[in-house]
Structure 1
């Protein structure tokens, strides 16, 4: 919401400033009407537009995930009541309701006058004759005038024409639109200035038509001055009594060349483009995949280099072939049975032969196949996640597990008051059938956070067990849980 308000207000302010600087004083009133209305629509839509600017960044391939095996970090956020936000929304609802009631009341007041007073058809409009002394004003297709002035023919033809332009060009719809926006965004004063600009432009449009129809500018100017002090009590109506009469009088005598108006219109195109880029552009880093050799946390040893291309055939105690692995896939137990590489040969003192022997040592490779016998009689061997062929996982994936814990984890009221933020570290066993056991709290933050984590894990459905040599195995799993208790 804050992002929407900031972006829309920025766009509204810039476009309104450009209007006052470049367009308001030019005699291009129809274009100005479109510009003001389009500025409202454009500015309220622009926060929902996102243009991604892709910035390529080079990052070496680190594997499918950056999370180390056996470690899962997740956040559990316990929502609590934020009375400050509720108060702000309450104030907004009250003020908006008052403004809506005021708006409906004025609509009702105008429609009641139409129903309770004489109505006369006049060209494409209706004249409502009122008893009180008022200045002619318009609402939708209705023109309100004084009954006595109407029958005594004291209302000049120019005034009828002026109000009729408001009717035929449907200026009331513009006023209703800006009023609705003012009710919804009453806290934003920029809409007040938009309403004033729209109303003044309506008067320019009506004045322009009157001047073209009667071609008597001095008489019409004197007529406006004679009625300028009258008051109108209807903020939804278009009327002659607009406060900035001086601007209207000056506008009647102005001329704008076609080239000047076209030049100013063309300036607006880069303006809207710049606003879109400024407000909507979002830089997105796109990783450029590069095949880069990444060393592990420990440098490659001579043994790893020697057996780099060797296939290890794993046999059980009965001599049955149970698996074939590369060096990096071997478990710590299997590595203990690897035969050591042959000792280095004596290097000759002859420089030429010495260089040749060193090259042979450097490029030495292990045998194509090596047989390893492992004792797997102990079916209850415990493995860590790194030693498994397939890792144990929660049904539906780890995202589903995160959701399960978040839904079931309850932070005590005392812990919430303390605004705890930190981690609970646990280990637990994932059995061959997928059940969880041997829960152990390594560190918690007190207030029952560790016990609550164990309680939630005991509620967990059975996991899909990890496998070693193609069979289900017992796997020790570690889990740090990040806890944040909302203020």
Structure 2
């Protein structure tokens, strides 16, 4: 705990508690409760700032990137900047503390000198000291267990003074004054302590005056006794001219109703508020573990179901993703899927090249979802066209292997947001777009062999390559519950309005905001042989009508052919030699 903030909070608590006393309790005749409140508030003000309130902070594990720059480092002399203001304030504080300490010691030594020089008479509960005449101006007072009475008071006014000072001795009022004086030495700059001392002295005198049986005679005695005695800062002086008016006023004041003692319960909310505002904070980090949350059911659920087409047949290799998480999967050969650790209320998205995109809100945590996909084919194919499509798909079968789990990088959006540096020239030119980057992810999750599949401009392409090359280890893809190497394609979005925002704002972007269109394909494991030759000779027949060139549109997983209007048929089929 730092000393200066702690002491500042202590002084603020004193000011607040004294303000409550002045507003609520100072006019009450519950003198013992007032004294207890003042002493309690003085002590508890040291305890409240020392309390520690534990606060748990959730920490999300995110991937970071380190950039090591090499270059020439120039070392120069550092001239220390001397803070003379701090030294001046420290000197003023020490001077004030020393002055207050000297005054306190001097007052205590003066009382000791009066006790040693006077006539001491040991009594049962106290020790009576009759002071010498050279100390007559000090008057009568009490200090701890000593009752010091001047010669004149001993001869003329012994009984009322004796009764008054005995209350001070029995209730140990001197200890209250000593506590205040010691605090004044350390915190002499705080005016609340001076007000505390005055309030305690008033309360002491009210308690002692309360023992008087005849209020009129006692008030008359106080007025006739007034003679300008010199008071000491550490004693309970019988006569104090500054307190005389308030003492007489309190003697004649009607006693406060007993039910008003309940006002002291208002101290409880004040204490609670002081603890909340002034207590120290201890932050305890708590890493988010999605498996633990799912195990205990605190916001994460499991989602399972089946994906079929319009005729009820299962759809295999359909990609299934969820909003708010990077968990994803693909359907198996029976069209079934099951994913754990999915946030409640997220949206499920099913993507397949042969069908339209499907989205649905997850509302029931334990229900099994039956998803029907609609075909996106624009027209039916003939028998010959379907055969040609099957031959093409057979030659491209290696790019459609199903995965049990896609590769993933936790915190991908935050990583891109923290790493991306928009080229300055591109900002000036207003160039934006999506850069498609493919890279190899091996069985250990290491990224390598980054290439630009579709670029925007050279500087944006280079920045996208730099981001990919700085990526940490990915979670590798799995097939048959074993890691496999894949070729992964990812789009990195460049948006001037977003990328120039502060980092703290960019980190709050939802998952996938920085480009989440990803394509995977199996990694090449050997030489391709005559693959290019086979692809060329698979198209064994070209059908040309008149001089109109053919218009053919090939798409993954389907083939759609558009024929021109019927006309004169010219047989221009070219037969290629067989292998």
TM-score by length of 1: 0.57
Counterpart of 2:115? 114
1:133 to 133, 136, 155: 136
Counterpart of 1:456? none
Counterpart of 2:66? 68
1:351 Cα deviation after fit: 11
Identify unmatched segments of 5+ residues in structure 2: 71-76, 291-324, 327-409, 421-433, 447-482, 488-523, 540-549, 560-579
Counterpart of 2:18? 16
Change (3 A) 1:105 1:60: closer
Counterpart of 2:259? 259
Cα RMSD for the two superposed structures? 4.1
Tell me the secondary structure at the aligned position of residue 239 of structure 2: coil
Could you tell me how far apart the structure 2 residues matched to 1:183 and 1:310 are? 68
Counterpart of 2:191? 189
Could you tell me how far apart the structure 1 residues matched to 2:37 and 2:112 are? 31
Could you tell me how far apart the structure 1 residues matched to 2:12 and 2:41 are? 12
1:192 Cα deviation after fit: 0.7
1:302 Cα deviation after fit: 6.7
Could you tell me how far apart the structure 2 residues matched to 1:311 and 1:31 are? 72
Could you tell me how far apart the structure 2 residues matched to 1:220 and 1:162 are? 11
| Residue 356 (structure 1) aligned with residue 575 (structure 2) | no
Tell me the secondary structure at the aligned position of residue 19 of structure 2: helix
Change (3 A) 1:108 1:156: closer
Change (3 A) 1:302 1:68: closer
Could you tell me how far apart the structure 2 residues matched to 1:34 and 1:345 are? 98
Could you tell me how far apart the structure 2 residues matched to 1:189 and 1:355 are? 84
Counterpart of 1:232? 230
Trace 1:8-407 onto structure 2 (pairs within 5 A). Answer: 8-54=10-56, 61-63=61-63, 66=64, 68=66, 70=68, 81-130=82-131, 131=133, 132-134=135-137, 135-150=139-154, 152=155, 154-208=156-210, 210-211=211-212, 215-242=213-240, 243-253=242-252, 254-261=254-261, 263-280=262-279, 282=281, 289=288, 292=326, 293=410, 294=412, 297=416, 303-304=438-439, 354=555, 356=557
Change (3 A) 1:311 1:34: closer
Could you tell me how far apart the structure 1 residues matched to 2:177 and 2:17 are? 19
Change (3 A) 1:205 1:355: same
1:123 Cα deviation after fit: 4.4
1:12 Cα deviation after fit: 0.7
Could you tell me how far apart the structure 1 residues matched to 2:527 and 2:144 are? 97
Change (3 A) 1:350 1:124: farther
Give the greater-gyration-radius structure (CA): 2
Q: Which has the higher helix share?
A: 1
Change (3 A) 1:302 1:155: closer
TM-score by length of 2: 0.49
Could you tell me how far apart the structure 1 residues matched to 2:12 and 2:198 are? 19
Identify unmatched segments of 5+ residues in structure 1: 313-323, 329-336, 359-487
1:221 Cα deviation after fit: 1.5
Counterpart of 1:382? none
1:249 Cα deviation after fit: 2.2
1:288 Cα deviation after fit: 6.5
Tell me the secondary structure at the aligned position of residue 133 of structure 1: helix
1:272 Cα deviation after fit: 0.9
Tell me the secondary structure at the aligned position of residue 304 of structure 1: strand
1:225 Cα deviation after fit: 2.0
